[in-house]
């Protein structure tokens, strides 16, 4: 299967992340799955007339297109013309190209949260009137209409993340290549369920602190960051702490709160990313599927039962009190 990759309004960070695919590397992985790039603006040698001829061939049907990947939000301004972003050398807007080529593709993938929901590109006053490929924030209907499906019958597959995990992209591509991804494999925002059925909280190294509500008060401390530092890993979808980044990392492993970057409209939470909004001292955002009364009761019990070791370590930048030694029973 072939892939055409377009980069629209954004930072290009999802391509940078994709290059971090490991064991095997990106190119070996794609080759092993029978996938190849027709063109990628950052990775391919082709440019100028050669690319224009390729795009024309796809548009006319002379060249089949299996997978269209779109990275970055699509600028619709000014006044719906898309002329804020002209695809260099073509005289046509990226808006126009995305709409035209999507109709030809067997599958359409939005790569990263800018492409899926608009993301950081749409934050603030959004002067370029940018949107996602099939979503405008949390609402269906972006550059492509809400009811759009590709030639496969699937909607735009939203591989959200800012940037998206390289394995989320490669696994999506391999599942499509093997015919193993259907509508049942996508969640309510058309994100692949193999990662969207997990919470960032799963596998978080701070879970022991979370269990006892032993909280960090500053970013340098190793306690749970939910209560005071804005972490919403208990609500955010993603297997970031199970499928670690670059073999070992994640945001919470690095000591920074999860900001829910796989979700629509994460870019404008209405407060600082490292601030936990509270009402009467209780965090406004509670863990997914947990009634407030249960959380309050469990939190009170957990705090009362917090071992000294965990309470002390939570507000330290390293392990201060190690686990106690247990002597074997005679």
Q: Where are the domains of the chain?
A: 2-196, 199-319
The CATH code that applies to domain 2-196 is 3.40.50.700
- Looking at residue 184, the DSSP 8-state letter turns out to be G
C-alpha to C-alpha distance for 73 and 82, rounded to whole angstroms: 12
From 261, 273, 267, 265, select the one nearest 112 (Cα to Cα): 261
Q: In this structure, how many other beta carbons lie within 10 angstroms of the beta carbon of residue 152? A: 18
User: In the prediction, which pLDDT does 292 show?
Assistant: 73
| Residues in contact with 290: Cβ distance below 8 Å, sequence separation at least 6, in sequence order | none
pLDDT in tens, the chain (330 residues): 999 999 999 999 999 999 998 878 899 999 999 999 999 999 999 999 999 999 999 999 999 999 999 999 999 999 999 999 999 999 999 999 999 999 999 999 999 999 999 999 999 999 999 999 999 999 999 999 999 999 999 999 999 999 999 999 999 999 999 999 999 999 999 999 999 999 999 999 999 999 999 999 999 999 999 999 999 999 999 999 999 888 788 999 999 999 999 999 999 999 999 999 987 777 877 787 777 777 778 778 888 889 999 999 999 999 999 998 888 887
Can you give the pLDDT at residue 267?
97
Tokens read off for 61: 């049907």
Please provide the size of the chain in residues. Answer: 330
Residues in CB range of 116: below 8 A, 6 or more apart? 110, 132, 133, 135, 156, 158, 159, 160, 189, 191, 264
Which pLDDT value is given to residue 239?
96
According to the model, what pLDDT value does residue 69 have?
98
**Pairing mode, strands 105-111 and 92-93:** unpaired
8-state DSSP, 244:
-
Choosing among 1.20.210.10, 4.10.480.10, 3.90.1150.10, 3.30.43.10, the CATH entry for 199-319 is 4.10.480.10
Distance of alpha carbon 192 from alpha carbon 190, whole angstroms: 6
Q: How far apart are CA 95 and CA 19, in angstroms?
A: 26
Nearest to 94 by CA among 108, 110, 109, 82: 82
Q: Where are the strands (E) in the chain, listed by range? A: 2-7, 36-39, 65-71, 74-75, 86-87, 92-93, 105-111, 130-131, 135-136, 139-140, 157-159, 278-279, 282-283
Q: Is 287 helix (H, G, I), strand (E, B) or coil?
A: coil
Q: Given this model, what pLDDT does residue 241 score?
A: 95
For residue 291, what pLDDT is reported?
Answer: 76
């Amino acid at each position: 299967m072939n892939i055409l990759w377009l980069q629209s309004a954004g930072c290009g960070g999802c391509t940078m992340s994709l290059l971090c695919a490991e064991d095997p590397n990106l190119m070996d992985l794609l080759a092993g799955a029978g996938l190849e790039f027709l063109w990628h603006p950052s990775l391919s040698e082709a440019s100028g007339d050669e690319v224009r001829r390729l795009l024309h061939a796809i548009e006319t049907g002379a060249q089949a297109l299996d997978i269209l990947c779109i990275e970055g939000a699509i600028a619709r301004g000014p006044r719906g013309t898309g002329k804020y972003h002209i695809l260099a050398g073509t005289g046509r807007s990226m808006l126009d190209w995305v709409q035209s080529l999507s109709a030809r593709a067997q599958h359409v993938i939005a790569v990263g949260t800018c492409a899926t929901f608009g993301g950081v590109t749409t934050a603030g006053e959004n002067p370029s009137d940018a949107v996602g490929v099939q979503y405008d924030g949390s609402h269906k209907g972006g550059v492509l209409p809400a009811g759009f499906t590709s030639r496969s019958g699937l909607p735009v597959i939203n591989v959200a993340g800012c940037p998206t995990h390289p394995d989320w992209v490669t696994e999506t591509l391999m599942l499509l290549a093997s015919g193993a991804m259907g509508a049942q494999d996508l969640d309510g925002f058309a994100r692949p369920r193999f990662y969207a059925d997990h919470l960032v909280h799963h596998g978080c190294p701070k879970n022991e602190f979370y269990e006892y509500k032993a909280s960090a008060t500053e970013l340098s401390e190793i306690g749970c960051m939910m209560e005071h530092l804005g972490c919403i890993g208990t609500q955010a979808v993603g297997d970031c702490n199970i499928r670690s980044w670059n073999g070992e990392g994640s945001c919470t492993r690095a000591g920074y709160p999860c900001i829910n970057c796989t979700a629509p409209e994460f870019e404008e939470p209405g407060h600082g990313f490292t601030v936990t909004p509270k009402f009467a001292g209780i965090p406004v955002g509670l863990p997914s599927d947990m009634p407030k009364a249960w959380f309050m009761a469990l939190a009170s019990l957990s705090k009362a039962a917090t071992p000294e070791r965990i309470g002390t370590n939570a507000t330290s930048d390293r392990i201060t009190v190690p686990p106690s030694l247990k002597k074997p029973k005679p």
